[in-house]
Amino acid sequence: MKVRVTHSLRGRLLWFLLAAITIAAVAQASIAYRTALNDADQIFDYHMQQMALSLRSRVPLTSTENADADTPISGNDDLVVQVWSPDGVRVFRSASHAHLPQRAVLGFSNVRANGTTYRIFSIQTDNQTVQVAQDLAVRRSMASNLALRTLGPIAVMMPILMLVVWWVVSGSLEPVARVRKQVASRQADDLSAVSEAGLPDEVRPLVQELNLLFGRVRTAFDAQQHFVADAAHELRTPLAALKLQVQSLERSDSPDAKRVAVSRLTAGIERATRLVEQLLVLARQEASVAGGAPRQPVDIAGAARRAVAELAGVAAAKQIDLGLPRADSAAVEGQPDALMILLRNLIDNAIKYTPEGGTVDVSVVAEHRGVTVTVEDSGPGIPPAERERVFDRFYRVPGSDAKGSGLGLAIIKSIAERHGATLALGESKRLGGLEAAVTFPV
């Protein structure tokens, strides 16, 4: 039959510890009992030997009438003492009903007589032979009583030790039960840290990691709430503008007025579509962060070539010279889709803010410190005071004429941080506009 062990830590500890105590107590009791029996035998043998030695005498005993009587007077049958003269005549026998054989084997021996077994010790001197015999049944009974007395402390200490183990294990796991109650009693939106007071060293790291997880989830919830609030705020404006443009189209009488209204409505729809696309991209990136999408080596130079090719038509529509003058062969560890979004947003932002007839250059440089993707343009650039704020969602540089949602750089920064890359904005020394550089570690 297979014994099923509980998965409870407390149950497992109590099960194994109490089983170990029981096995140890039984083994100790068995060893103590056998040792006590052996010691008792040695003590009884020693007493028999000392009694025989004490009965030695240099004066020979004389035979008496009662010495060879067939029926001695009543006495103790447990211990029998007999003495013989050198010529084999028994000159003394203790009062006992036991009849032992008329033979003496020097030293210790066992003799079967009177329906039982006797332990006999014999010693011989010049003038006599002394024999001391003891009933082994009586000896074993006395030895068992002595041995059983040694088991008393074990029988008393075993349940006491079990109670102590139960108390120690239960008390030691009480902090774990307290943490479980704290987590079980909190609401779904309660992401506060779990108390680490009084926790054992083996459990404290688990609670610390749990608190870190709560912190990350709280940050994600806060970001989601901010995202929803910002998205609702930003979508309200273009939707209201679309409503006004539809009303303007309805009130238009002449074909020219209708054409202008339709043009404005189309532009509004394009802006709203662009905003929704950016919001979806941002939401998808945050979802991939939470889901832990797998990483793999990505040819960053090949990805830059594809991004430039995809946006070549957009650049040509504004008569912008889009090129890739340098593309070192290099691979970075990351998510291919996310890196393509990063590159497209970098190039698209540069095209969007560069005036017609301008230049946008993309380069991929592999060095010992890492791989740097740089996008330079000949646009107006970003003032130094605004270069930190442009990473905020929905923030746009005041006075900018380019149409946008203010999410492009926020998406780029989110992807760069997730890949351990650094994003830096500066002034292009060659083209005079903005220089955006993303450096991936080796």
Residue with tokens 């791989």: 371
Q: Are strands 321-327 and 359-367 parallel, antiparallel or unpaired?
A: parallel
User: Side-chain half-sphere of 150: how many Cα atoms within 13 Å?
Assistant: 19
Question: Which pLDDT band holds residue 150 (cuts at 50, 70, 90)?
Answer: confident
Residue 1 has pLDDT above 60, yes or no: no
**Mean pLDDT for the stretch of residues 87-95:** 77
Question: Which pLDDT band holds residue 65 (cuts at 50, 70, 90)?
Answer: very low
Q: Please, what sign has the CA dihedral across residues 336, 338, 342, 344?
A: positive
Instruction: Let me know if 313 is exposed, middle or buried by CB neighbors in 10 A (0-12, 13-18, 19+).
Output: exposed
Contact between residue 14 and residue 169 where contact means Cβ atoms under 8 Å apart: yes
Which pair of tokens denotes residue 112? 């079967």
pLDDT at 161: 87
**Mean pLDDT for the stretch of residues 265-283:** 71
List phi, psi (to 5°) of 123.
-140, 145
More confident call, 43 vs 103: 43
Rounded mean pLDDT of the chain? 77
CA dist., res. 284 & res. 342, Å (int): 13
Return the bridge partners of 374, or none. Answer: 363, 437
pLDDT digits (tens, 9 = 90+) for 237-273: 567 767 777 877 777 778 877 787 788 778 778 767 7
Residue type at 139 in one-letter notation:
R
pLDDT at 6: 55
pLDDT at 282: 63
Residue 68 has pLDDT above 70, yes or no: no
CA dist., res. 322 & res. 313, Å (int): 10
Q: Which of 105-109, 150-154, 276-280, 326-330 has the lowest mean pLDDT?
A: 276-280
Contact between residue 338 and residue 288 where contact means Cβ atoms under 8 Å apart: yes
Picking from 366, 405, 111, the residue whose alpha carbon sits closest to that of residue 281 is 405
Picking from 359, 362, 343, 351, the residue whose alpha carbon sits closest to that of residue 402 is 351
Q: What is the pTM of this model?
A: 0.45
